[in-house]
Amino acid sequence: MSLDREQKEGAELLLMGNEAIARGALEAGVRVAAGYPGTPSSEIIETLSRFSEAGKLYVEWSTNEKVAMEVAAAASFAGLRSLCVMKQNGVNVASDFLLHLTGSGTRGGMVLVTCDDPGALSSVNEGESRHFARLMEIPLLEPSDFREAKEMTRWAFTLSEAIRNVVMVRSVTRMSHASGNVVLGALPEIAGKAAFCCDGPVSDPDCGPVISTPVVAKHRLQQEKLRGATTLFEESPFNAYEGPEDPELLIITSSVCTLYSREALSLLRAEGRTGILKLGTTWPVPPALLKKRLASAKKVLIVEEVLPFLEDQVKILAAEQAHEIGIKEFYGKNDGTLPMVGELNPDLVAAAVGRILGIDPPSVPAEYREKLTALTALVPKREQTFCPGCPHRASFWGIREALQRDHRGGFVCGDIGCYAMASLFPAAGFHTAKTLHSMGSGTGIASGFGKLGPFGMEQPVLAVCGDSTFYHAAIPALINAVHHRADITFIALDNSGTAMTGFQSHPGLEVNAMGEAAPMVDIAALCRAIGAPVVVGDPFALTETRETLNRLLEEPGVKVLILKQSCALSPGKKGKKTFLVRVDETLCRGDACGCNRLCTRIFRCPGLLWNRDRKKAEIDEVICAGCGFCAGICPAGAIRNEEAAKS
Amino acid sequence: MQERVAEPAGQRNGQGGQKELEEQVLRTGLCTGCGACVNLCPYQAIYQDRTVLLHPCDLAQGRCYDFCPRTPTDRDALRRNFQEAADCTPELGAVKGFFITRAADGNLRCRAQHGGSVTALMALALREGLIDAAVLVEEGEGLLPRSVTVTDPNEAGERGRSRLVVSPTVAEFNRIVRGDAAKIGVVATPCQAIAFAKMRALPLSESNAGIEKLRLVVGLFCGWALSWRKLAPLLKKKTDIARVIGMDIPPSRYHTLEVYTSGETIRVSLDEIDPCVREACRSCDDMTAEFSDLSVGSARLPEGWETARGWNQVIVRTKQGMDLLELARRRGVLEFREAPPGNLEKLKAASLGKKRAAERFFGRDVADEETTQAG
């Protein structure tokens, strides 16, 4: 069930973690929310956008996370409560501003929500944003269930106003994307006019200019406020202990790991021997609370995902208090009890607890295991691939053919988006990208490669970049390449939306996050203004794409090719076939052709099937998107396109 | 994930597929760019003058490997297939006859290389219905030639200038053999002629379907070909390559490549040209297109180069070749003059020189190989 304006206070709803966070912000009276899409964070801004209303709540998808944080900060400076939202690596993008923002301090409550992705379920990193809280010296809150996700977000605004600084709320994929029951609180009456009072002295936190200088004085003030927050944390209801007063083993945990820990103890029937100290305020950890609990147990296991963030803090506090609480045995990341990479789950935690307490985790019955093995064998193997009708598959097919023809070992510097798959599966015909890092980095890396000609590098250098990524971080890199005469071919894969995360708007579209008409910023015009020659093409026009690229690869300097074709899943295209595609069985010669199943073995569109009985290709009419591109690759001309009836 | 059953097109006992082709020919620099592996399947293509692999093919056996002139080839078996044992010489392959000829049509000579004999013979073959399609080479952009199919004998005369860069003639044959043409003639370099001979030698099956349409192979003498990607930048420094109308290599004592533009003749030392020679050509042992019906090259005459450049030397190798030449004589399409004494011996010596250079190439490390030109 999704949130809407009609739902009343006291209603209990099944909410996704991200919706709970959004609701918390609404209950806190948030006025401005800005973010950049990124799984698993995107639904927070999407949910808030449905509540947007002129003068009451402004919501935007910013061009990148740094800009989002700046937009939210401005609202705070003007006295409004504001929220900025991003995934873990978004904080890296925003971090330069964040460092200075935490130095200057804020006015209206400002909350930074980051959604981390341990195990990189939908990321190309499992970076940790928690460390930024310590680095920037701002409080960090981590909800462990859905109710808490809402309550914590709401309280974060209060805390922000108390310490006059940003408060960070950190979620993870299993919190953001799982659902649980949440009781709605009241939505406040929205009041208060935006005004930026800035004529006072620099020392006046309410009316002075908002700057991070004088640095030492402001830094001292920031630390004093943080100590104040730590005092509040000692009594915070978000921190709780459950279990015997003198446990054999003390688990210290936070976030969804709290649920894993509870489940693990239940599996092992070890609740009577083990206590769980669940922390919601994980930076700084409240020292008195920690001391009280550490004193009660000899063995301590810290359960958290990826790096030892809590573990480091707990060990420091334990060392400082060792003369009072005694020496402890620590279990966690550093001794290998728990893995320092990937997600945790109840089984991993149970195994760890079992080893410490000498309990064998309950074994799965042999019969169950056999059934499981039999069932898993039935699950068809599926590879991550481009969707049927995806313009990226066509773009990379053209790029690959051009590069293979060019024959100088040319390669693509990849970037972040669905098209990152071009770097992941060597067997597929779309495999061309050989570097993959952060947003916009493909272009920056290409700019560097493009200067290595005098060092003997003869390989042509290409960079690909999606439309949203173009605005996010590619523009400075492209300007760099133009200004320094780097020899690169820059390809914008413009599929008209932030497709991978669910078609959020971006500056290339004529609509904004709130559904209002917005001026479109044209990629081609921007590139021309920078001084790069621009060719605009259709990725479905294979020969043209290939020939254009082969020509561009021979030319020096920065050349821009925009391959424009909207995503097959975009609202405008989904379910609408341009062509009815079929395989003419009289023309498909199957294994006698010599094509060696180019369509299913190399092209690998999920809409194409190899019929093992008839030994011929066929179209899966259910999932074929009707783009018709495959008709152009069949050497026998057996794949036929018929104009689909317009619906 | 998918089960792979190696069921190559037609049943053959080939020795390799794309993987072996890549390892043995493409990566080793032996590929001549003849096009024999192209247009059979979607996996290889010619771009500029190079063979490129577009996608990996995992079939254990392939026509690409079977047809390639640089995969292991039983030359003796090929000879037995097409040539009479009595005609065979160790230096030049089969020699049924040796002639000095030129096109009788002076206009045609102007547009063609040397005496224009090849152009005249292809036009004749089309006109007489010996063939109904001729695969020829025409100039493309920026010195890059392309192979085209011509059915009108008058059009054949428009093509015939050499750029010394290879053109994928066998790929063009592979393309048109599936079409309407019933009797195809080709003008082939020695490597291309070997590819055609290999295609013809295979038992007729689905794999070489259509090869019976190949009725005439007119070979070209060839000392080496030049790599376009190396030649084009070199010549761009010397002239506007769009204005180049032809190239030639005078006898070896000149040690020069002549480049003809609409306004002037540019002479480039072969020392400068040598780095542009295709690696594959350094290991080629066939200077005179031994696997053709007849093969044609530049002439050497006592009057000197200025006269000789207007004539051709022709080695006839098969009965079909002889029939065509005699038809040309009867129709007055070619003019003949007596071969000067010693010409055949000089040709044999030059051909033997190339065979020895190829032997040295394979016998010694590539990097140590002294450069040789049979030009």
- Paired strand residues for A61: A35
The pLDDT value recorded for residue B374 is 35
Cα–Cα dist A33/A365, whole Å:
51
| Domain A579-643: which CATH number of 3.10.450.750, 3.30.70.20, 3.40.50.1000, 3.20.20.70 | 3.30.70.20
ipTM for this prediction: 0.85
Domains A12-234 and A240-357 share a fold: yes
Q: For B54, which of A381, A401, A612 is closest by C-beta distance?
A: A401
- CA separation, residue A293 to residues A2, A274, A321, A363, B333 (Å): 39, 12, 12, 32, 109
Q: Is A557 left (phi over 0), alpha (psi -120 to 50) or beta?
A: left
Cα–Cα dist A72/A419, whole Å:
30
Mean pLDDT of the B16-43 span:
95
How far does the CA of residue A588 sit from the closest CA of chain B (Å)? 13
Range list for CATH 3.10.450 in chain B: 228-276
pLDDT digits (tens, 9 = 90+) for A219-256: 999 999 999 999 999 999 999 999 999 999 999 999 99
Contacts of A154 (CB under 8 A, 6+ apart): A24, A25, A27, A28, A185
How far does the CA of residue A379 sit from the closest CA of chain B (Å)? 12
Q: Which residue out of B54, B58, B63 would a mutagenesis test of the A interface target, given it has the greatest number of A Cβ atoms within 10 Å?
A: B54
Mean pLDDT of the A639-645 span:
90
Rounded to a whole number of angstroms, the distance between the first and last alpha carbons of chain B is 53
A523, A494 contact by CB (below 8 A): yes
User: Which residues numbered 20-79 in B keep a CB inside 8 Å of some CB on A?
Assistant: 40-43, 45, 47, 50, 52-59, 62-63
The pLDDT value recorded for residue B373 is 38
pLDDT digits (tens, 9 = 90+) for A291-300: 999 999 999 9
pLDDT digits (tens, 9 = 90+) for A597-629: 999 999 999 999 999 999 999 999 999 999 999
**Does B295 score more than 90 pLDDT?**
yes
Q: For B41, which of A381, A594, A610 is closest by C-beta distance?
A: A594
Mean pLDDT of the A454-465 span:
97
Task: For residue A215, give the amino acid letter.
Answer: V
The pLDDT value recorded for residue A573 is 87
Q: Residue A1: which pLDDT band, with cuts at 50, 70 and 90?
A: low
Q: Within an 8 Å CB–CB cutoff, is residue A635 touching chain B?
A: yes
The pLDDT value recorded for residue B14 is 67
The pLDDT value recorded for residue B241 is 86
Cα–Cα dist A481/A450, whole Å:
8
- Across the interface, do A406 and B47 touch by the CB < 8 Å criterion? yes
A170, A111 contact by CB (below 8 A): no
How far does the CA of residue B42 sit from the closest CA of chain A (Å)? 6
Cα–Cα dist A434/A552, whole Å:
20
Cα–Cα dist B197/B94, whole Å:
14
How far does the CA of residue B6 sit from the closest CA of chain A (Å)? 9
Choose among A377, A383, A491: nearest CA to A432: A491
Mean pLDDT of the A72-79 span:
98
A485, A557 contact by CB (below 8 A): yes
- Across the interface, do B52 and A601 touch by the CB < 8 Å criterion? no
**Does B122 score more than 60 pLDDT?**
yes
Cα–Cα dist B345/A405, whole Å:
43
How far does the CA of residue A408 sit from the closest CA of chain B (Å)? 10
The pLDDT value recorded for residue B2 is 37
Pair of tokens at residue A20:
């709970």
A493, A561 contact by CB (below 8 A): no
| Token pair 């990607």: residue | B229
**Does B87 score more than 80 pLDDT?**
yes
pLDDT digits (tens, 9 = 90+) for A210-228: 999 999 999 999 999 999 9
- Paired strand residues for B260: B246, B265
pLDDT digits (tens, 9 = 90+) for A330-350: 999 999 999 999 999 999 999
Pair of tokens at residue A365:
């019955």
Choose among A60, A21, A58: nearest CA to A43: A21
Q: Which residue has the higher pLDDT, B260 or A289?
A: A289
User: Which residues numbered 397-416 in A keep a CB inside 8 Å of some CB on B?
Assistant: 400-401, 404-407
Dihedral of CA atoms A573, A578, A579, A580 in degrees, nearest 10, equals: 50
Q: For B50, which of A407, A429, A610 is closest by C-beta distance?
A: A407
Task: For residue A575, give the amino acid letter.
Answer: G
Flag the least confident range among A77-81, A203-207, A515-519.
A203-207
- Give CATH for domain B75-225+279-361: 3.40.640
Backbone φ and ψ of A208, nearest 5°: -85, 170
The pLDDT value recorded for residue B108 is 86
Backbone φ and ψ of A132, nearest 5°: -65, -30
- Paired strand residues for B219: B188, B295
Mean pLDDT of the A521-536 span:
97
Residues of A in contact with B57 (CB under 8 A): 596
Mean pLDDT of the A134-155 span:
98
Percentage of chain B beyond pLDDT 70 is 92
Q: Are strands A167-172 and A140-141 parallel, antiparallel or unpaired?
A: parallel
- CA separation, residue A397 to residues A383, A429, B121 (Å): 18, 6, 43
The pLDDT value recorded for residue B365 is 46
The pLDDT value recorded for residue A277 is 98
Q: Tell me, which fold does domain B228-276 have in CATH?
A: Nuclear Transport Factor 2; Chain: A, (3.10.450)
Q: Residue B12: which pLDDT band, with cuts at 50, 70 and 90?
A: very low
**Does B4 score more than 70 pLDDT?**
no
Rg of chain A (C-alpha set):
28
Residue in A with minimal Cα distance to B5:
A591
SS (H, E, C) A370-423: HHHHHHHHHCCCCCCCCCCCCHHHHHHHHHHHHHHHHCCCCEEECCCCHHHHHH
pLDDT digits (tens, 9 = 90+) for A545-556: 999 999 999 999
User: Which residues numbered 145-174 in B keep a CB inside 8 Å of some CB on A?
Assistant: none
B56, B2 contact by CB (below 8 A): no
Q: For B9, which of A405, A406, A594 is closest by C-beta distance?
A: A594
Alpha helices in A383-540 (DSSP H): 391-406, 441-449, 467-469, 475-483, 523-530
Percentage of chain A beyond pLDDT 70 is 100
Cα–Cα dist A390/A565, whole Å:
9
A645, A633 contact by CB (below 8 A): no
Q: For A595, which of B3, B42, B45 is closest by C-beta distance?
A: B42
**Does B250 score more than 90 pLDDT?**
no
Backbone φ and ψ of B70, nearest 5°: -105, 5
How far does the CA of residue B47 sit from the closest CA of chain A (Å)? 5
Give the start-to-end residue ranges of the domains of chain A.
12-234, 240-357, 391-564, 579-643
Cα–Cα dist A598/A583, whole Å:
14
The pLDDT value recorded for residue A5 is 86
Whether omega before A214 lies within 30 degrees of 0, making that bond cis, reads yes
Does the CA dihedral B100-B103-B104-B109 come out positive or negative?
negative
Mean pLDDT of the A81-98 span:
98
> Does 3.40.50.970 match the CATH number of domain A391-564?
yes
B45, B38 contact by CB (below 8 A): yes
DSSP letters, A197-261, are: ---S-TT-TTTS-----SHHHHHHHHHHHHHHHHHHHHT-TTSEEES-SS-SEEEEEETTHHHHH
The pLDDT value recorded for residue A479 is 98
- Across the interface, do A635 and B8 touch by the CB < 8 Å criterion? no
- Across the interface, do B54 and A405 touch by the CB < 8 Å criterion? yes
Pair of tokens at residue B122:
């292809």
Task: For residue A289, give the amino acid letter.
Answer: L
| Token pair 């023809």: residue | A405
pLDDT digits (tens, 9 = 90+) for A172-205: 999 999 999 999 999 999 888 999 999 999 889 9
User: Which residues numbered 609-628 in A keep a CB inside 8 Å of some CB on B?
Assistant: 610, 612
Does the CA dihedral A150-A154-A155-A160 come out positive or negative?
positive
Q: Are strands B312-316 and B97-103 parallel, antiparallel or unpaired?
A: antiparallel
**Does B11 score more than 60 pLDDT?**
no
Q: Residue B366: which pLDDT band, with cuts at 50, 70 and 90?
A: very low
Mean pLDDT of the A566-594 span:
91
**Does A70 score more than 70 pLDDT?**
yes
Choose among A151, A629, A242: nearest CA to A401: A629
The pLDDT value recorded for residue A427 is 78
B11, B23 contact by CB (below 8 A): no
Percentage of chain A beyond pLDDT 90 is 91
- Give CATH for domain A12-234: 3.40.50.970
**Does B371 score more than 80 pLDDT?**
no
Q: Residue B311: which pLDDT band, with cuts at 50, 70 and 90?
A: very high
How far does the CA of residue A581 sit from the closest CA of chain B (Å)? 20
The pLDDT value recorded for residue A628 is 96
Range list for CATH 3.40.640 in chain B: 75-225+279-361
**Does A126 score more than 80 pLDDT?**
yes
Mean pLDDT of the B42-48 span:
94
Cα–Cα dist A610/A588, whole Å:
11
Pair of tokens at residue A59:
């919501």
Backbone φ and ψ of B111, nearest 5°: -90, -10
Q: Which residue out of B5, B53, B55 would a mutagenesis test of the A interface target, given it has the greatest number of A Cβ atoms within 10 Å?
A: B55
Cα–Cα dist A38/A417, whole Å:
10
Residues of A in contact with B228 (CB under 8 A): none
How far does the CA of residue B346 sit from the closest CA of chain A (Å)? 40
- CA separation, residue A448 to residues A462, A472, A558 (Å): 11, 19, 12
- Across the interface, do B2 and A600 touch by the CB < 8 Å criterion? yes
- Tell me the CATH architecture of domain A240-357: 3-Layer(aba) Sandwich (3.40)
pTM here is 0.90
Cα–Cα dist B271/B276, whole Å:
10
Q: Are strands A534-537 and A558-564 parallel, antiparallel or unpaired?
A: parallel
Pair of tokens at residue A459:
């390989």
Q: For A593, which of B5, B9, B54 is closest by C-beta distance?
A: B9
As to burial, measured by CB atoms within 10 angstroms (0-12 exposed, 13-18 middle, 19+ buried), residue A447 is buried
Cβ neighbours around A430 below 10 Å, total: 27
Does the CA dihedral B262-B265-B266-B269 come out positive or negative?
positive
Q: Residue A571: which pLDDT band, with cuts at 50, 70 and 90?
A: confident
Angle at which helices A257-268 and A346-357 cross, to 10°: 50
- Across the interface, do A591 and B5 touch by the CB < 8 Å criterion? yes
